[in-house]
Structure 1
Amino acid sequence: MAENKNNYQQPDVQETENDEITIDWMDILRRIYAIRKTLYKAAGVGLILGIIIALSIPKQYTVTVTLSPEMGGDKAGGGLASLASSFLGGGASSNSPDALNATLAPDIVASTPFILELFNTKVQTLDGKLDTTLVAYLDEQKQPWWGYIKAAPGMAIGTIKSLFSEEADTTSALNPFQLTEEESEKVEGLRKVITADVDKKTAMTTLTVTMQDPKVTAIVADSVVAKLQQYIIDYRIKKAKEDCAYLEQLYKERQQEYYDAQSKYAHYFDSNRNIALQSVRAEQERLQNDMNLAYQVYSQVAQQLQVARAKIQEEKPVFAVVEPATVPLQPSGTSRKVILIGFVFLAVCGTGAWKLLGLTYWKKLKSNI
């Protein structure tokens, strides 16, 4: 009896196992064909949603600028090329003691003082309707309709606060130490659309700017490159300028000392020309030695000053713009066609999965509950 029972259960197990590993594609196709009208409706809904989303997202334009150090003659760490290379990461074996190197370029571009310097950059849209500063252009940029919904509570709170507070002085200079809420939001917005990346292997610095107008994007990218170069140049020649300023002051002091010693010697020599006393000759010799010593010091300081002036030019790093900023012709990011296809695909797949699988499991779950 037990043996018969085992013989009876065995076929069921085999059949269950066969059911688990066998896929009836024809049955799946028949089920899909049965819900084709529902899938058509889902595709229509997905198409409508895709059109709404695609038209709501403003176009974005991206400009990429590539910088590289001038790899000219190698001057044992003292030439323009080696200085630029040490900043831009031209080789891990660089012995440059500078704290400013290629790894800090992204941090410099993202820093608050650097971004605040871009606020007053003059920009102009491609159609010529706007010719203003970058900070004013940021207020003219569009955003999706859900962005206005998200920002509505904050705008309402800001309006209420403005009714009970004094009007802010918009003409005051920007203070990086204490930004207003609006200024902070604009800084964060620019920090997201202006980025820098450094390839340590190739020593290439890539700056990327993304905005809604192609001409504004190119202008901002060019301004970022110029300001970054000037930032690095100011840092590199700061010490040389300080040395030069000190030598300028020292040069004037030593020059005046030499002129004074020369004047004393000439006056004493003219006053005692016909006197043959030994004391007079000794004083004359002392004054002449003082004049010669003052001239030697003055001459040495003058030479050092000329070297310091030349060093300012030598310390300037050299940047080669491999890929300059140009006005983009095509928008960047996900195209509207891809958005439409994506929404239609998701709507059809989601509806089909629900009808073929989800609805069955949902009914089972409801029956078990």
Structure 2
Amino acid sequence: MTNNESYKLDLIDIVNSVLKNWKILLVLTGFSLAIGFMIIYSTEESYSSKCVLISESGEGSSDLGGLGGLASLAGIDLSKGANIGSINPALYSSIAGSTPFLKAVAHQKYYFEIVGDTLSIYEYYINETDINEKVVSDTTFSYLPDIQRMSNAELATIAYLRERIFVNMDWKLGIVEIEVVMPDPLVSAQIANFTSIYITDYVKNYSQEKGRIQLAFVDEQIRERKIEFDRIQRVLNQFKDGNLNINSSRYRAKEQELSSEYNLIYDVYNELLKQKESLRIQLNKEIPVFSILEPVSIPNRPIKPNKKLILLLSVFTGICIGIVVVLFKVKIS
């Protein structure tokens, strides 16, 4: 008998053994299927709501023109905040993971369809868990006014939300994708909508704040240059008035030196005034504009648990275990 014939006979014996013990196979498959149903009904359903935004902003370039060279000669660095509209892509996901944002989400009121009432995530989470309020929320210290102590329930709620709110940014396409996964489909959609509004407002304010800082910097430089300009103008006028009838080379050299300094400060001062007006226009032009590519919608089907996949895996696992048990039984007998 060849090896191929022996292999075929062994395979036929295995199949026959499995078919003869079909009851064991059926029982184990049914048991595995029952476990699958238990997993399905014990797993909390989760609904996903998505929102896609298109972010459009200016190139963020600050054209200083001839001001950069003049300012450097006068000892001024205008490179600070040169890019008003430049926003790091990581900012979007950082906002979604920040404690102030998650705290705002936690205390915002939503209508819970599964409860039939309007609650905050914080209130809902406390009712669904056994967390005790060991620390009073929003406790502040008189000697540390900017620091707050949050309750255990607040910290737990924030941790709960941090695992359910996702914001991704495709910087090349300028697309912001927001996804919220919650057990209530209506709440999921409401939080996604709240997140889109919060993020767009935050980014706009952030961009304006950068522009306001640069504008304040230019204003400060204008005040300083104005003081210098008034000083050199006064010195030059006093020098000319005190030397009306003098026409020596020494006088002309000093007058030329003062005039050169006067012209330099005057040019820088005028360019700063122009730059201030340019920044005002640029500040309004480079505020990010968000357009809704995919609006928020209420999901109809849960994404978890995946019932079909769980049942298929349960049947497959039951059959595999059944075959192993049958073969083990045949080997022993």
TM range (shorter): 0.5 to 0.7
Partners of 1:217 and 1:244 in 2: CA distance = 40
Name the amino acid aligned to 1:30.
Answer: N
- Asked if 1 retains the 8 angstrom alpha-carbon contact of 2:165 and 2:178, the reply is yes
Aligned residue in 2 for 1:43 = 29
> SS state of the match for residue 329, structure 1?
coil
SS in 1 for 2:320: helix
- SS class of match (1:119): helix
> 1:325 Cα deviation (Å)?
1.0
2:117 corresponds to 1:130: yes
- 3-state SS, counterpart of residue 37 of structure 2: helix
Give 1:119's match in structure 2, choosing from 106, 112, 118: 106
Provide the rounded CA distance (Å) in 1 between the counterparts of 2:208 and 2:84: 14
SS of 2:48 mapped into structure 1: strand
CA contact under 8 A between 1:209 and 1:220: conserved in structure 2?
yes
Q: Structure 1 residue 302: deviation in Å?
A: 9.9
Matching residue of 1:183: 154
Q: Distance in 2 between matches of 1:44 and 1:171?
A: 53
- Show the counterpart of 1:58: 44
How far residue 221 of structure 1 moved from its aligned partner, in angstroms, is: 0.4
* Match status 1:108 vs 2:79: no
Q: Which residue identity is paired with 2:325?
A: W
Percent identity, aligned pairs only, is 22
1:225-304 equivalences under 5 Å are 225-242=196-213
Alignment of 1:203-222 (within 5 A): 203-222=174-193
| 3-state secondary structure, aligned to 1:47 | helix
- The letter for the 2-side match of 1:124 is Y
Q: 1:274 — aligned with what?
A: none
Residue equivalent to 1:199: 170
SS at match of 2:312: helix
Cα deviation, 1:348-369, whole Å, max 9, x if unaligned, reads 222222332x5678x69xxxxx
Change (3 A) 1:197 1:242: closer
Q: CA deviation at 1:24?
A: 3.9
Deviations 1:261-320 (A, max 9, x none): xxxxxxxxxxxxxxxxxxxxxxxxxxxxxxxxxxxxxxx999988766555433421111
Q: Which residue number corresponds to residue 10 of structure 1?
A: none
2:12 match? 26
Which residue of 2 is the match for residue 7 of structure 1?
A: none
* Partner SS state of residue 30, structure 1: helix
Structure with the bigger percentage of helix: 1
Q: Distance in 1 between matches of 2:177 and 2:93?
A: 9
1:70 and 2:56 are equivalent in the alignment: yes
Structure 2 contact 85–287 (Cα < 8 Å) conserved: no
- Give the C-alpha shift of residue 232 in structure 1: 1.1
Per the alignment, residue 320 of structure 1 pairs with: 291
Which shifted more, 206-215 or 345-354? 345-354
Amino acid of the residue matched to residue 44 of structure 1?
G
Q: Which runs of 5+ in 1 are unaligned?
A: 1-13, 79-94, 142-147, 149-154, 252-299, 365-369
1:115 CA drift (Å): 1.6
Distance 1:104 1:309, change over 3 A: closer
Task: Tell me the equivalent position of 2:68.
Answer: none
Distance 1:306 1:97 in 2: 14
Deviations, residues 54-94 of structure 1 (Å, cap 9, x unaligned): 111122110111121238xx87847xxxxxxxxxxxxxxxx
Post-superposition shift, 1:200? 4.0
Give the TM-score normalised by the residue count of structure 1: 0.58
Q: How has the CA–CA distance of structure 1 residues 40 and 325 changed in structure 2, closer, same or farther, with 3 Å as cutoff?
A: same
SS of equivalent residue, structure 2 residue 169: strand
Superposed CA deviations along residues 208-249 of structure 1, whole A, max 9, x for unmatched, are: 100011111011001111111122112111133346678999
Does the CA contact (< 8 Å) of 1:116 and 1:176 recur in 2? no
Alignment of 1:169 with 2:136, yes or no, is yes
- Cα distance 1:306–1:202, how it changes in 2: closer, same or farther (>3 A)? closer
Could you tell me which runs of 5 or more consecutive residues in structure 2 were left unpaired when the two chains were aligned: 63-81, 141-145, 223-270
- 1:126 is aligned with what amino acid? E
Taking structure 2 as the reference length, the TM-score comes to 0.64
- Residues 85 and 288 in structure 2, CA contact (< 8 A), matched pair in contact too: no
Query: The residue matched to 2:163 in structure 1 has which SS?
Result: helix
Amino acid at match of 2:98: S
Aligned position for 1:284? none
Corresponding position of 2:239: none
The alignment partner of 2:303 has SS state of: coil
For the 8 Å contact 2:85–2:286, the answer to whether it is kept is no
| Number of residue equivalences | 265
